[in-house]
Amino acid sequence: MTETTYIPPKVWQWQAGNGGKFANINRPVAGPTHDKELPVGKHPLQLYSLATPNGVKVTILLEELLAAGISAAEYDAWLINIMEGDQFGSGFVAVNPNSKIPALMDHSVNPPQRLFESGSILMYLAEKFNAFIPADAAGRAECFNWLFWQMGSAPILGGGFGHFYAYAPEKYQYPIDRYTMEIKRQLDVLNRHLADKEFICGDEYSIADMAIWPWYGVLVRGGLYDAAEFIEAHTYTHVLRWANTIAERPAVQRGRMVNRTWGEPHEQLHERHDASDFLLKTADKV
Amino acid sequence: MTETTYIPPKVWQWQAGNGGKFANINRPVAGPTHDKELPVGKHPLQLYSLATPNGVKVTILLEELLAAGISAAEYDAWLINIMEGDQFGSGFVAVNPNSKIPALMDHSVNPPQRLFESGSILMYLAEKFNAFIPADAAGRAECFNWLFWQMGSAPILGGGFGHFYAYAPEKYQYPIDRYTMEIKRQLDVLNRHLADKEFICGDEYSIADMAIWPWYGVLVRGGLYDAAEFIEAHTYTHVLRWANTIAERPAVQRGRMVNRTWGEPHEQLHERHDASDFLLKTADKV
């Protein structure tokens, strides 16, 4: 492979299968590949997801809402296996035309409302249940500054660093250097911000924390891309303190289990339809 | 360069200057590099920005608000020259700790409110002035689905495709293939969505259009990365129709000029402090 002599063609041509770990599920076109209806359970909220960082944001919020006594946030969580192409089924594409998890249907309104993009789902649910967004205007604005910061930053972590460090078919130095520099800068942004705050928006735990933690919190704790040593995660002391605090919340621990198909058996709850589903998993742990 | 034999070290080391066109302004750490206060003009809204796609989103919204008769949206727009490191001045970092444009201060509230991330600024202004977000719950939810879609998708266009196709020091085939496939998929998502709609959220022009147009609209019109032929922009007919419709709006044409330091002289309004500033530029055109 002599990259230095590569000259792009005038018109790009797709060569299928040349995309690393997720090559088989990546395509240059959108839309459904097959007909498949989505299941609908008994609760008003129907989640179609997988326990990736973006998926976990939503299950953490739903579990936090339930832990706060908001029973209207009861939900069914159905597994979308992205390695098998579930996200290209006609039913899923109708909920999220972008074919990415998480996707949510709210059947408590008429007609039922579709929601896609984790940030949009977090905002919708937090506003619907009036929780986990600071009530004052200044706090609300700052909360959304950081929620949008996560949405714009994490594609560089997941779609850039994660791909080239962990998933690409070969190790290329230039992209790894490029994306490592940027995610270290992002972590330093968070570290300085959290130096004098318990949570992202101050004293109040919010959807900004729930959006940022599954990416940057899990990263510094060594749970993402096995990259903690490479990026010197131990130097981001305030991020680590914040990440460890959130990791101890029972709702976060439950949220991480939902739609998870990897790890230890007791960490995996492939589908979630009732609070008691978590209790059954305790047996797996013993 | 023999990429195939590269083995990442255990701990990443920064090699300054190895980052392509924007190497000099990229660093693995955050925070200010020098003391510099930001100027404050006469209007309540103080924008610190540059006419990149993310910057243009906000100036388009501000010009649309003014065109709609909302005079409280009057603003001063100050130039942040990112090639000279203005985004690392202490005053700018206090407004946006992430050191990216656009950043906004709202002095109409006490204490003044900082806003960063283009999506957060669009949402804040649209909610403040009750404009350009559909009023009904379903329309509002769909508008934010697409606003967040833009926030999560464009980093792949700008930070991925744009960098490797236009700015990287060498052409590398693997990243170009990877990111071209994804942005063609994104364009197809938009194209299918716009097949039966005038605007992103239906009949109503909204902040979702203003967020998506400066990236994907300008891209298919050939104004971004000179990549229209490479990605076969002409095949996304519905996106092109939508992009051309929006390009004709006078507020969009004004918004694109603000904080612009490239192109023809009549396209550049380095700072904007009054509506009459645009009229002076007309003279440059003649």
- Within chain B, where are the H helices? 53-67, 90-95, 118-129, 137-155, 173-194, 207-212, 218-220, 237-247, 250-257, 276-285
Q: How confident is the model at residue B50 (pLDDT cuts 50, 70, 90)?
A: very high
Contact A117 B142 (CB under 8 A): no
Q: Residue B163 to residues A216, B22, B29, B92: CA-CA distances in angstroms?
A: 23, 9, 20, 25
Q: Give the residue-averaged pLDDT of B262-276.
A: 96
Place A26 in a pLDDT band, splitting at 50, 70 and 90: confident
Q: Is B28 helix (H, G, I), strand (E, B) or coil?
A: coil
User: Would the pLDDT of A286 be above 60?
Assistant: no
Check whether B251 has a pLDDT greater than 70: yes
Q: Do B160 and A160 touch (CB under 8 A)?
A: yes
Residues A7-22: tens digit of each pLDDT: 999 999 998 766 666 6
Q: Which of residues 151-180 of A touch B (CB under 8 A)?
A: 151-156, 159-160, 163-165, 168-178, 180
Q: Which residue of A has its CA nearest to B171?
A: A6
Please check the confidence at residue B12 and state whether its pLDDT lies above 60. Answer: yes
For the stretch A106-133, pLDDT in tens is: 999 999 999 999 999 999 999 999 999 9
CB contact under 8 A, A153 and B14: no
Three-state DSSP string of B190-232: HHHHHCCCCECCECCCCHHHHHHHHHHHHHHCCCCCCCCCCCC
Q: Which of A31, A153, A155 sits opposite B192 (nearest CB)?
A: A31
Q: Answer yes or no: do B230 and A7 touch at CB < 8 A.
A: no
Give the model's confidence band at B167: pLDDT under 50 very low, under 70 low, under 90 confident, else very high: very high
Distances in Å between the Cα of A110 and the Cα atoms of A156, A248, B79 are: 37, 38, 47
Interchain contact B125–A (C-beta under 8 A): no
Pair B247, B221: CB distance under 8 Å: yes
Q: Which of B20, B148, B181 sits opposite A119 (nearest CB)?
A: B148
Q: What does the pLDDT look like over B178-233, one tens digit per residue?
A: 999 999 999 999 999 999 999 999 999 999 999 999 999 999 999 999 999 999 99
- Asked if residue B201 is part of any domain, the answer here is yes
Residue A261 CB neighbour total at 10 angstroms: 12
**Domain membership flag for residue A125:** no
What does the alpha-carbon distance between residue A203 and residue B203 come to, in Å, rounded to a whole number?
41
Kindly report the average pLDDT of chain B as a whole number: 94
Do the Cβ atoms of A175 and B180 come within 8 Å?
no
How far does the CA of residue A159 sit from the closest CA of chain B (Å)? 7
For chain A, say whether B120 makes contact (Cβ under 8 Å). Answer: yes
Cβ <8 Å between B111 and A138: yes
B39 vs A5: which has the higher pLDDT? B39
**pLDDT at residue A92 is higher than 60:** yes
Q: Which of residues 8-37 of B touch A (CB under 8 A)?
A: 8-12, 14-15, 18-20, 26-31
Q: Do B28 and A188 touch (CB under 8 A)?
A: yes
Name the residue type at position A196. D
Residue B269 DSSP class? B
A143-146, long-range: CB < 8 A, 24+ apart: A143/A200, A143/A201, A143/A206, A143/A207, A143/A208, A144/A208, A144/B120, A144/B123, A144/B124, A145/B114, A145/B115, A145/B116, A145/B117, A145/B120, A146/A200, A146/A201, A146/A208, A146/A211, A146/A212
DSSP helix/strand/coil, B19: coil
Q: For residue B266, how many other CB atoms are within 10 A of its CB?
A: 14
Number of structural domains (chain A) is 1
Where does residue A17 fall: left (phi above 0), alpha (psi -120 to 50 degrees), or beta otherwise? Answer: left
Number of residues in chain B: 286
| Average pLDDT value for residue range A148-158 | 95
Could you give the ipTM of this predicted complex? Answer: 0.95
Task: Give Cα B185 to chain centroid, integer Å.
Answer: 20
CB pairs under 8 A between A and B: 248
Out of B30, B160, B188, closest to residue A159 by CB:
B160
In a domain, A74, yes or no: no
Query: Mean pLDDT of all residues in chain A?
Result: 94
Averaged over B86-91, what is the pLDDT? Answer: 97
Residues of A in Cβ contact (< 8 Å) with B160:
155, 159-160
In CATH, what number is assigned to the domain containing residue B167?
A: 1.20.1050.10
C-alpha separations of A224 from A65, A151, A163, A171 in Å: 26, 17, 12, 18
pLDDT of B164 strictly over 70:
yes
Find the residue in A nearest to B115 (Cα).
A145
Is residue A106 domain-resident?
no
Q: Whole domain around residue A225: which residue ranges? A: 137-248
Mean pLDDT value of segment B142-159: 96
Q: Which carries the bigger pLDDT value, residue A173 or residue A15?
A: A173
**What average pLDDT does this structure show over B238-250?**
98
Q: Which of A97, A149, A178 sits opposite B19 (nearest CB)?
A: A178
Of A6-15, A268-277, B100-109, minimum mean pLDDT range: A6-15
The pTM of this model reads 0.96
For residue B184, is it within any domain?
yes
pLDDT band at A3 (very low <50, low <70, confident <90, very high): very low
Cβ-Cβ contacts under 8 Å for A241 (sequence gap 6 or more): A194
Cα of A177 vs its chain's centroid, Å: 24
C-beta atoms surrounding B39 within 10 Å: 11
- pLDDT at site B255: 98
A283 vs chain B: nearest CA distance in angstroms? 38
Mean pLDDT over A145-166 rounds to 95
Q: For A31-41, how does the pLDDT look when each residue is reduced to its tens digit (9 = 90+)?
A: 999 999 999 99
What pLDDT, on the 0 to 100 scale, is given for residue B16? Answer: 72
Chain B residue with Cα closest to A98: B189
Instruction: Give residue B17's pLDDT band: very low, low, confident or very high (50, 70, 90).
Output: low
Angle separating helix axes B250-257 and B237-247, nearest 10 degrees: 80
Whether B1 has a pLDDT exceeding 60, the answer reads no
| A112/B contact by beta carbon, under 8 A | no
Structure tokens at B148: 């967040």
Chain centroid to Cα A111, Å, comes to 27
Contact list, B173 vs chain A (CB under 8 Å)? 3, 6, 8
Please report whether residue B285 resides in a domain. Answer: no
**Pick from B152, B153, B154, B180: which is nearest to B166 by CA?**
B180
The answer to whether A234 faces chain B, any CB pair under 8 Å, is: no
Q: What is the chain B residue with the closest CA to A115?
A: B145
Instruction: Tell me if B14 and A181 make a contact (CB, 8 A cut-off).
Output: yes
Helix (H) / strand (E) containing B113:
strand B113-116
Q: Residue B212: inside a domain, yes or no?
A: yes
Q: Nearest chain B Cα to A159, which residue?
A: B156
pLDDT band at A2 (very low <50, low <70, confident <90, very high): very low
Residue type, B43: H
Q: How many CB atoms lie within 10 A of CB B275?
A: 13
**Closest CB to A120 among B19, B148, B164:** B148
What does the pLDDT look like over A207-255, one tens digit per residue?
A: 999 999 999 999 999 999 999 999 999 999 999 999 999 999 999 999 9
Question: What DSSP assignment string belongs to A110-172?
Answer: SSPEEEESHHHHHHHHHHHTT-SS-SSHHHHHHHHHHHHHHHHHHHIIIIIIIIIIIISSS--
Contact B28 A153 (CB under 8 A): no
DSSP chain A: --GGG----SS----TT-SGGGGGG--S--S-SB--PPP--SSSEEEEE-SSHHHHHHHHHHHHHHHTT-GGG-EEEEE--GGGTGGGBHHHHHH-TT--S-EEEETTSSSPEEEESHHHHHHHHHHHTT-SS-SSHHHHHHHHHHHHHHHHHHHIIIIIIIIIIIISSS--HHHHHHHHHHHHHHHHHHHHHGGG-SBTTBSS--HHHHHHIIIIIHHHTT-STT-TTTTTGGG-HHHHHHHHHHHT-HHHHHHHHBT--SS-GGG-BS-B-STHHHHHHHHHH-
Contact between chains at B192 and A30 (C-beta distance less than 8 A): yes
Alpha-carbon torsion B82, B87, B92, B96, what sign?
Answer: positive
- Show which of residues 243-282 on chain B sit within 8 Å of chain A, judged by CB atoms: none
Residues of B in contact with A175 (CB under 8 A): 164, 172, 175
Cis-peptide into B111, omega within 30 deg: yes
Share of chain A above pLDDT 70, in %: 94
- Taking the C-alpha atoms of residue A8 and residue A11, their distance in angstroms, rounded to an integer, is 8
